[in-house]
A and B are shown apart, each in its own frame.
Chain A
């Protein structure tokens, strides 16, 4: 019984310390959002602006996932499922490149054919 009470006490203590962490992360997320908008007002060069905005968004996303969603200390099954998802996500992001990299129906061939047809 005493062991159970001690466990409950330590559990409550760990939750209280987690709450401090949640509030700190919440405050950091507010600050990062303000920084993102401020950086946008400076009118940086487009590649730099994209890099800065996505870096800050990535940092914020990592904070939400690791602290609020407890991903920093999850079971390996969850990591496994998410790793599989990440692979799928990367494929989805780069899949459209296939449509650019293929050589089907390039405009130059069409142009040549049209010019030849007009010449006849």
Chain B
């Protein structure tokens, strides 16, 4: 039995099941990160002094460039499928995967530097919220990479069977990935610059 509205849109909402599903998931993600941003604000407003310049701004900027670049390659990966160019799609998806890996490598160096100086999450309120926010964001990056690896590897077989369904799946992956980029766009100035 086929699941309805995977490829064609529902007549009442004009959406596929997957698209509505991913947007509802992203809505819950907004709540999750919203709660943490709220925590950050209350901690910062309530503290007598707040450290400034503890983080490497240049590394943060490079990571911002990397994530923005990965968002561009992700959307190009989906657009290539819309143009029925699977080879291009795959290269763009691999590029997105590599860029997200680079982001994590940079983050590893940043974390390693902090821990080498004995600056763990328990060192200060700032570092506690920094590790919580960036750690959760990093987990989202890893989650995205797992999904991308699946579509680069075994999941790509779906293209030969039902290309429309595969294109939709890549669109949902892209929506998730752009959200992860969106969160970092706010995390970077809030943690590194202000």
Within 8 A of B (CB), among A70-120: 75, 77-78, 81-82, 84-85, 88-89, 92-93, 95-96, 99
Known: A64-B178, A68-B178, A88-B34. A78 touches B23 (CB 8 A): yes
B193 touches A40 (CB 8 A): yes
A37 touches B193 (CB 8 A): yes
The main secondary structure of chain B at its interface with chain A is: helix
Enumerate chain B residues within 8 angstroms of A82, measured Cβ to Cβ.
Answer: 23, 27
A53 touches B193 (CB 8 A): yes
Known: A37-B57, A53-B193. A12 touches B83 (CB 8 A): yes
B14 touches A37 (CB 8 A): no
Chain A nearest CB from B187 CB (Å) reads: 9
A15 touches B83 (CB 8 A): yes
Enumerate chain A residues within 8 angstroms of B193, measured Cβ to Cβ.
Answer: 36-37, 40, 49, 53
Nearest neighbor of B175 in chain A, beta-carbon distance: A69
B24 touches A26 (CB 8 A): no
B14 touches A77 (CB 8 A): yes
A99 touches B42 (CB 8 A): yes
Enumerate chain A residues within 8 angstroms of B69, measured Cβ to Cβ.
Answer: 26
Known: A22-B76, A82-B27. A75 touches B15 (CB 8 A): yes
Q: Contact residue range for chain B?
A: 35 or more
> Does A7 sit at the interface, judged by CB under 8 A?
no
Bound-complex Cα distance A49 to B189 (A): 10
Known: A23-B72, A56-B189. A49 touches B27 (CB 8 A): no
Enumerate chain B residues within 8 angstroms of A54, measured Cβ to Cβ.
Answer: 189
Enumerate chain A residues within 8 angstroms of B24, measured Cβ to Cβ.
Answer: 81
Known: A18-B79, A22-B75. A93 touches B20 (CB 8 A): no
Chain A nearest CB from B46 CB (Å) reads: 8
> Does B3 sit at the interface, judged by CB under 8 A?
no
Known: A26-B72, A61-B182, A64-B182. A95 touches B38 (CB 8 A): yes
* Pick from B27, B75, B82, B185: contact of A84, CB under 8 Å: B27
Within 8 A of A (CB), among B1-42: 13-15, 19-20, 23-24, 27, 30-31, 34-35, 37-39, 41-42
Residues of B within 8 A of A (CB): 13-15, 19-20, 23-24, 27, 30-31, 34-35, 37-39, 41-42, 57, 61, 64-65, 68-69, 71-72, 74-76, 79, 82-83, 174-175, 178-179, 181-182, 185-186, 188-190, 193-194
> Sorted from nearest, which 6 A-B pairs have the closest CB atoms?
A26-B72, A53-B189, A96-B42, A85-B27, A89-B34, A92-B34
Identify 9 residue pairs between A and B in the complex whose beta-carbon atoms are under 8 Å apart, listed by A's number: A15-B79, A19-B76, A22-B79, A29-B68, A57-B190, A68-B71, A84-B27, A93-B34, A96-B42
Beyond contacts A15-B82, A64-B185, A92-B38: 8 other A-B pairs, Cβ-Cβ < 8 A, are A15-B83, A78-B19, A81-B20, A81-B24, A85-B30, A88-B34, A93-B38, A96-B42
